Copies of this chain bind each other. A is one copy, B any other.
Protein backbone atom coordinates (compact mmCIF):
# COMPACT_ATOMS: atom_id res chain seq x y z
CA UNK A 1 0.00 0.00 0.00
CA UNK A 2 1.12 3.53 -0.70
CA UNK A 3 1.74 6.17 1.90
CA UNK A 4 -1.56 8.00 1.34
CA UNK A 5 -3.55 4.81 1.80
CA UNK A 6 -1.66 4.03 4.97
CA UNK A 7 -2.26 7.54 6.25
CA UNK A 8 -5.98 7.22 5.55
CA UNK A 9 -6.19 3.78 7.09
CA UNK A 10 -4.57 4.96 10.29
CA UNK A 11 -5.91 8.47 10.63
CA UNK A 12 -2.51 10.08 10.26
CA UNK A 13 -0.96 12.13 7.47
CA UNK A 14 1.72 11.32 4.96
CA UNK A 15 3.85 13.98 6.59
CA UNK A 16 3.60 12.25 9.92
CA UNK A 17 4.42 8.86 8.47
CA UNK A 18 7.55 10.17 6.81
CA UNK A 19 8.43 11.87 10.06
CA UNK A 20 8.04 8.55 11.93
CA UNK A 21 10.32 6.95 9.38
CA UNK A 22 12.94 9.65 9.86
CA UNK A 23 12.60 9.19 13.61
CA UNK A 24 13.45 5.51 13.25
CA UNK A 25 10.02 4.24 14.25
CA UNK A 26 9.31 2.59 10.91
CA UNK A 27 11.25 -0.09 9.10
CA UNK A 28 12.48 1.26 5.78
CA UNK A 29 9.74 0.25 3.34
CA UNK A 30 10.41 -1.17 -0.10
CA UNK A 31 9.87 1.15 -3.04
CA UNK A 32 7.97 0.68 -6.26
CA UNK A 33 9.89 1.03 -9.51
CA UNK A 34 8.92 4.68 -9.58
CA UNK A 35 10.24 5.33 -6.09
CA UNK A 36 6.97 5.30 -4.13
CA UNK A 37 6.98 3.77 -0.68
CA UNK A 38 5.16 0.43 -0.76
CA UNK A 39 4.12 -0.66 2.70
CA UNK A 40 3.15 -4.18 3.71
CA UNK A 41 -0.42 -4.14 4.95
CA UNK A 42 0.49 -5.08 8.52
CA UNK A 43 2.16 -1.71 8.87
CA UNK A 44 -1.29 -0.53 9.91
CA UNK A 45 -0.86 -2.45 13.17
CA UNK A 46 2.48 -0.83 13.79
CA UNK A 47 1.03 2.65 13.38
CA UNK A 48 -1.83 1.65 15.64
CA UNK A 49 0.66 0.58 18.27
CA UNK A 50 2.48 3.89 17.98
CA UNK A 51 -0.76 5.83 18.46
CA UNK A 52 -1.87 3.73 21.41
CA UNK A 53 1.55 4.16 22.98
CA UNK A 54 1.18 7.90 22.59
CA UNK A 55 -2.26 7.73 24.14
CA UNK A 56 -0.63 6.05 27.09
CA UNK A 57 1.67 9.02 27.36
CA UNK A 58 4.81 7.32 26.09
CA UNK A 59 7.18 9.43 24.06
CA UNK A 60 8.04 8.49 20.50
CA UNK A 61 11.53 7.64 21.73
CA UNK A 62 10.13 5.14 24.24
CA UNK A 63 7.79 3.66 21.67
CA UNK A 64 10.79 3.38 19.38
CA UNK A 65 12.67 1.37 22.00
CA UNK A 66 9.81 -1.09 22.26
CA UNK A 67 9.60 -1.44 18.51
CA UNK A 68 13.34 -1.96 18.21
CA UNK A 69 13.20 -4.73 20.79
CA UNK A 70 10.41 -6.31 18.85
CA UNK A 71 12.19 -5.85 15.53
CA UNK A 72 15.29 -7.40 17.06
CA UNK A 73 13.30 -10.54 17.82
CA UNK A 74 12.94 -9.97 21.56
CA UNK A 75 9.63 -9.91 23.31
CA UNK A 76 9.54 -6.36 24.69
CA UNK A 77 7.27 -7.30 27.59
CA UNK A 78 9.72 -6.62 30.39
CA UNK A 79 10.71 -3.34 28.85
CA UNK A 80 7.10 -2.34 28.37
CA UNK A 81 6.40 -3.13 32.02
CA UNK A 82 9.34 -0.98 33.00
CA UNK A 83 8.20 1.92 30.84
CA UNK A 84 4.62 1.68 32.06
CA UNK A 85 5.59 1.66 35.70
CA UNK A 86 7.87 4.63 35.11
CA UNK A 87 5.06 6.42 33.35
CA UNK A 88 2.74 5.65 36.25
CA UNK A 89 5.13 7.27 38.67
CA UNK A 90 5.54 10.30 36.43
CA UNK A 91 1.79 10.61 36.20
CA UNK A 92 1.43 10.49 39.96
CA UNK A 93 4.04 13.22 40.29
CA UNK A 94 2.46 15.35 37.60
CA UNK A 95 -0.98 14.97 39.13
CA UNK A 96 0.33 15.89 42.58
CA UNK A 97 2.10 18.94 41.14
CA UNK A 98 -1.00 20.08 39.32
CA UNK A 99 -3.19 19.62 42.37
CA UNK A 100 -0.82 21.73 44.43
CA UNK A 101 -0.74 24.34 41.70
CA UNK A 102 -4.51 24.28 41.55
CA UNK A 103 -4.63 25.10 45.25
CA UNK A 104 -2.30 28.04 44.72
CA UNK A 105 -4.16 29.40 41.74
CA UNK A 106 -7.49 28.85 43.43
CA UNK A 107 -6.48 30.90 46.42
CA UNK A 108 -5.02 33.66 44.28
CA UNK A 109 -8.23 33.73 42.33
CA UNK A 110 -10.36 33.87 45.46
CA UNK A 111 -8.36 36.78 46.77
CA UNK A 112 -8.62 38.54 43.42
CA UNK A 113 -12.40 38.46 43.72
CA UNK A 114 -12.48 40.21 47.09
CA UNK A 115 -9.97 42.94 46.41
CA UNK A 116 -10.79 46.46 45.33
CA UNK A 117 -8.78 47.72 42.37
CA UNK A 118 -8.43 51.10 44.01
CA UNK A 119 -6.40 49.44 46.75
CA UNK A 120 -3.59 48.65 44.32
CA UNK A 121 -0.34 50.10 45.50
CA UNK A 122 1.35 51.98 42.69
CA UNK A 123 4.78 50.52 43.43
CA UNK A 124 3.83 46.92 42.84
CA UNK A 125 2.43 45.21 39.82
CA UNK A 126 -0.42 43.37 41.41
CA UNK A 127 -1.21 43.00 45.05
CA UNK A 128 -2.36 39.43 44.93
CA UNK A 129 0.26 37.86 42.73
A125 lies within 8 A of B70 (CB): yes
Residues of A in contact (CB 8 Å), total 47
Q: In the complex, are the beta carbons of B101 and A98 less than 8 A apart?
A: no
Proximity string of chain A (64-107) to chain B, C-beta cutoff 8 Å, 1 when within and 0 when not = 00110010000111101100110110011011001101101110
- Residue from B55, B66, B105, B108 within 8 A of A125 (CB atoms): B66
Interface of A is mostly: helix
Footprint of B on A, CB under 8 Å?
Answer: 42, 45-46, 49, 52-53, 55-57, 66-67, 70, 75-78, 80-81, 84-85, 87-88, 91-92, 94-95, 98-99, 101-102, 104-106, 108-109, 112-113, 115, 117-118, 120, 123-126, 128-129
